[in-house]
């Protein structure tokens, strides 16, 4: 079955869910343009999700995708937290922040029974997961709502694992992709492949539709992904400068500047490797630090630095999530961008 | 100008030069099939190059490419060499190798005046460089022979640097590519992009033809690269199992096995990061070791281990060079493989 039929959409294009830089507004605009808009839910509680879903449904009658994380949160580790705060102490001093004032916070919650209840209420057309899948019981509840289920795979092994557990389609997340790496079977980053290598090998290995993600920035990229056997594409970075996104001013400036050419995987902002534009914190501590607390605990200690720096117009301490190809970022309406990207589906 | 006209070939496809696993036989077969065969010259001295060129010219009247490295060889560092041999000592003991018997050896020579003389004698149609370009004086001598000059770029900055210095076309080496990374302006591996991200950004930044390399394994990959704006493609890994290649039996077995799914950049075999299939040495020492001597000095101390292990049918100590997509490796004649790949140039 074609991806469009499976998901009930006109264009086999998914706007990648991007927690922290978008809400229902971007999702609704993309869904109304005939593609699949996504709402990132990992940073919402049940009340927040209900509120976003009500706003989303008010803006579109089209299918949309709800994205959840399904990690096992790292247990609190006071010793590691102390080492991390000590590594950050010169920055606290520089900005006059009292470390004692920083609240611990989980940052991101995994998918849960409480969230399932919201899904049962709103019955979304599509639900996607990152970092694997929730428990079989929770997954069954999601499917019982009628939602089609997607999840990300960063290796052929992960794609086969997801297929065995009954997902409807698989997102091939190439190493170029921005934001959190979705790997869940093996932490060895060297196992993760670029889109050009990952996509055709995954297409060959599974019988499900494979959605290409990572490095796709324009219609040419869409055309290339389809040539490699993709059933559709998932695009995030290109949407970050649309007016419907909530991307901060410093983040937008970085995406449009030469610094966007240099991204790296970093665990400093959350505790898990995620791709963002290299900034001062990543340069000075190294993008991947063994001192950073586990996911999602690293977020709390950075938050006040980020907030203070952003208030001064600086992205030095912000997660400037971006893929390796930010050349498609444009300050145009999401519907217009979607129409431009969709030209890649038309045979030349 | 089209790449075919620039290089005098029928198909805009270059067989990647692969030192250690091929000689004139593969180059001649590919050139005779209408693409551009390449002879890797970095491990040849002038006499060896003359002999290979005579054999190549005897087998084809078509254009071919000669590939040279243009690194600055690392100076001998007895302390580092001793540390490296100490790290390898358990393996020497395991195989009964007397470390005192191991000759130091440069392994690979940069392009030189002596090599220029051979070029002046044989006047090849195309010369490609890896690790930047030779001195302006040497480059002028190469051009004076009538050769078109190519070089690899791993970032947009490197592509602009090469364009300024007068190359005729640029090879965009995506991170998926097998063998040595060609970076020469910055050693930070995080600056290197996947093909999907690198290629379109390079095409946008330079006015020269850009040749896509990295992750291209079959006609679909060729089609995808052309969709991303490439003027042509360079393919290496897919040719490794052709009968005309000199790829060892252990290397061929690894390329055809599940282990080919896991490659990594390693400096253990030469001193510079190069992509190969993960094997015992890479697993046990870590693929990138700060102890390994600089390029090309690391080769010497590994050589007897490799030789001994290979004689026992094991690739545990061999550089099993491969890109991230070995799915196109087939034990078919290079001409047949070239014809299959060329289907990617035909509009669907």
pLDDT mean values, one per 10 residues, chain B (348 residues): 95 97 98 98 96 98 98 91 95 94 80 97 98 98 98 98 98 98 95 97 98 98 98 98 98 97 97 98 97 94 96 97 98 98 87
Nearest CA-CA distance, residue B59 and chain A, Å: 33
Q: Which residue of B has its CA nearest to A259?
A: B191
Contact A341, A12 (CB under 8 A): no
Q: E-strand spans in chain B?
A: 13-15, 37-40, 64-69, 126-130, 148-153, 169-173, 179-180, 210-213, 232-235, 263-266, 274-277
C-alpha B22/C-alpha B3 separation (Å) is: 24
Q: What domains appear along chain A, each with residue ranges and CATH number?
A: 1-71+108-242+333-348 (3.20.20.70), 74-107+245-326 (no CATH)
| CB-based contact, B193 to chain A, within 8 Å | yes
Instruction: Give percent of chain B with pLDDT exceeding 90.
Output: 95
Helix pair angle (A24-32, A46-59), 10° resolution: 30
Q: E-strand spans in A120-228?
A: 126-130, 148-153, 169-173, 179-180, 210-213
CB contact under 8 Å between B327 and A201, yes or no, is yes
SS (H, E, C) A47-69: HHHHHHHHHHHHHCCCCEEEEEE
CB contact under 8 Å between A228 and B221, yes or no, is yes
A264 vs B190, B196, B348: nearest CB: B190
| CB-based contact, B159 to chain A, within 8 Å | no
Contact A1, A231 (CB under 8 A): no
B325 vs A197, A214, A323: nearest CB: A197
DSSP A22-48: --HHHHHHHHHTTSBEEEE-TT--HHH
A interface test, pick of B224, B326, B344 with most A CB neighbours within 10 Å = B224
* pLDDT recorded at residue B104: 74
Contacts of A119 (CB under 8 A, 6+ apart): A66, A127, A141, A142, A145, A147
Residue A153 β-bridge partners: A172
C-alpha B221/C-alpha A177 separation (Å) is: 19
Among A3, A284, A290, A300, residue whose Cα is nearest residue A128: A3
Phi (first) and psi of residue B176, to 5 degrees: -70, -20
C-alpha B114/C-alpha B124 separation (Å) is: 15
* pLDDT recorded at residue A316: 98
Whose structure tokens read 């007016």? A243
C-alpha B201/C-alpha B156 separation (Å) is: 7
B200 vs A214, A221, A278: nearest CB: A221
* pLDDT recorded at residue B42: 94
Nearest CA-CA distance, residue B288 and chain A, Å: 11
Whose structure tokens read 């999601």? A142
| CB-based contact, B156 to chain A, within 8 Å | yes
Contact B313, B116 (CB under 8 A): no
Residues in chain B with CB shorter than 8 Å from the CB of A183 are none
pTM for this entry = 0.96
Residues in chain A with CB shorter than 8 Å from the CB of B214 are 194, 196-197
C-alpha B302/C-alpha B291 separation (Å) is: 13
Per-residue pLDDT of chain A (348 residues; tens, 9 = 90+): 799 999 999 999 999 999 999 999 999 999 999 999 999 999 999 999 999 999 999 999 999 999 999 999 889 899 999 999 999 999 999 999 998 888 876 678 899 999 999 999 999 999 999 999 999 999 999 999 999 999 999 999 999 999 999 999 999 999 999 999 999 999 999 999 999 999 999 999 999 999 999 999 999 999 999 999 999 999 999 999 999 999 999 999 999 999 999 999 999 999 999 999 999 999 999 999 999 999 999 999 999 999 999 999 999 999 999 999 999 999 999 999 999 999 999 865
Taking the mean position of all CA atoms in its chain, how far away is CA A319? 12
What 3-state DSSP class applies to B148? strand
| CB-based contact, A205 to chain B, within 8 Å | no
* pLDDT recorded at residue A348: 55
Residues in chain A with CB shorter than 8 Å from the CB of B204 are 327
Strand order across the beta sheet in which A13-15 lies: A13-15, A232-235, A210-213, A169-173, A148-153, A126-130, A64-69, A37-40
Phi (first) and psi of residue B177, to 5 degrees: -65, 150
Residues in chain B with CB shorter than 8 Å from the CB of A190 are 262-265, 278, 287
| CB-based contact, B276 to chain A, within 8 Å | no
B interface test, pick of A160, A197, A282 with most B CB neighbours within 10 Å = A197
CB contact under 8 Å between B194 and A195, yes or no, is yes
Strand order across the beta sheet in which A263-266 lies: A179-180, A274-277, A263-266
A194 vs B194, B261, B287: nearest CB: B194
Torsion angle, alpha carbons of A12, A18, A22, A28, to 10: 20
A176 vs B194, B218, B262: nearest CB: B194
Q: How many CB atoms lie within 10 A of CB B165?
A: 13
**Total residue length of chain A:** 348
A200 vs B195, B227, B325: nearest CB: B325
């Amino acid at each position: 079955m074609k991806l469009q039929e499976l998901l009930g959409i006109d264009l086999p294009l998914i706007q990648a869910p991007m927690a922290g830089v978008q809400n229902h507004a971007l999702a609704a605009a993309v869904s109304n343009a005939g593609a699949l808009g996504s709402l990132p839910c990992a940073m919402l509680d049940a009340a927040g999700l209900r509120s976003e879903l009500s706003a989303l449904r008010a803006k579109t009658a089209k299918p949309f995708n709800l994205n959840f994380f399904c990690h096992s949160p790292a247990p609190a580790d006071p010793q590691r937290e102390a080492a991390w705060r000590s590594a950050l102490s010169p920055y606290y001093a520089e900005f006059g922040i009292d470390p004692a004032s920083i609240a611990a916070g989980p940052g991101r919650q995994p998918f849960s029974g409480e969230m399932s209840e919201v899904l049962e209420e709103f019955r979304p057309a599509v639900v996607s997961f990152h970092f694997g899948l929730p428990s079989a019981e929770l997954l069954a509840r999601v499917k019982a709502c009628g939602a089609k289920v997607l999840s990300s795979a960063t290796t052929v092994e992960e794609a086969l694992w997801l297929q065995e557990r009954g997902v409807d389609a698989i997102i091939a997340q190439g190493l170029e992709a921005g934001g959190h790496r979705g790997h869940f079977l093996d932490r060895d980053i060297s196992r993760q492949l670029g889109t050009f290598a990952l996509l055709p090998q995954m297409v060959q290995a599974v019988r499900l539709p494979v959605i290409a993600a990572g490095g796709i920035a324009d219609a040419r990229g869409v055309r290339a992904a389809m040539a490699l056997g993709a059933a559709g594409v998932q695009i995030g970075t290109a949407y970050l400068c649309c007016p419907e996104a909530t991307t901060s001013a410093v983040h937008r400036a970085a995406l449009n500047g030469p610094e966007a050419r240099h991204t790296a995987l970093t665990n400093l902002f959350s505790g898990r490797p995620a791709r963002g534009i290299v900034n001062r914190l990543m340069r000075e501590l190294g993008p991947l630090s063994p001192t950073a607390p586990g996911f999602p605990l690293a977020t709390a200690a950075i938050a006040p630095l980020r907030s203070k720096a952003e208030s001064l117009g600086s992205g030095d301490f912000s997660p400037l999530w971006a893929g390796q190809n930010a050349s498609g970022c444009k300050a145009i309406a999401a519907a217009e961008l979607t129409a431009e990207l969709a030209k890649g589906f038309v045979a030349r």
